[in-house]
Amino acid sequence: MSYIALEAVSMTNDPRALFVRALDQTQQLVDTTGPDDLVLPTPCDEYDVRTLLGHLLTVVARIDLALNGGDPLTIPVVTTRVDDVPAAWKERRVALDATLADDAVLGRTCKLPWGTLPGAAAIAAYTGELTTHSWDLAKATGRLDQLDDALATQVLPMVRQFVPAEQRGGHVPFAPVVPVADDAAPYDQLAGWQGRRP
């Protein structure tokens, strides 16, 4: 789950292009995850690969519902009982792409699991979540070389601004920041900030 500090929600630019890159990266990894990968552990302690895929299905459905004025908490944290995850992802992605095509979505008020935000800020928050979970999935399945480093480079400052370093746990669902070198790879820095061990 993402968290975005309420004092950091003013978004003056359009975050959709970056969000689509995060969606594309996630989709490529989802599409190429094999059945033998499903039982592998991930950097998210509570998820194996199967559960992480179910959570990613939830994420793509929740953001679409939120951007359309619905309550994303009506969708469980992990989507279960899906036989074909890539097909389910693509179906949900088609609906989300249609929602994103409407420019009005940027100013729409969205109820999210962690607060009520403008659509642009909600999209930015979910960009950080998808980019981080893409790393989780790639790390678990040995495919870090398939990640878009430029995406992480762009997402990292946003995540650092929106996810506080000091208040972790409770309503900020992240482990403490894991220190990494200043010159570490972008995904290592992102993972460390999100409380993962690169």
Global confidence as pTM: 0.89
What pLDDT does 184 receive? 95
Structural domains in the chain, CATH included, are 11-193 (1.20.120.450)
- Nearest alpha carbon to residue 93 among 25, 149, 151: 25
Summarize pLDDT for 55-98 with one digit per residue, the tens: 999 999 999 999 999 999 999 999 999 999 999 999 999 999 99
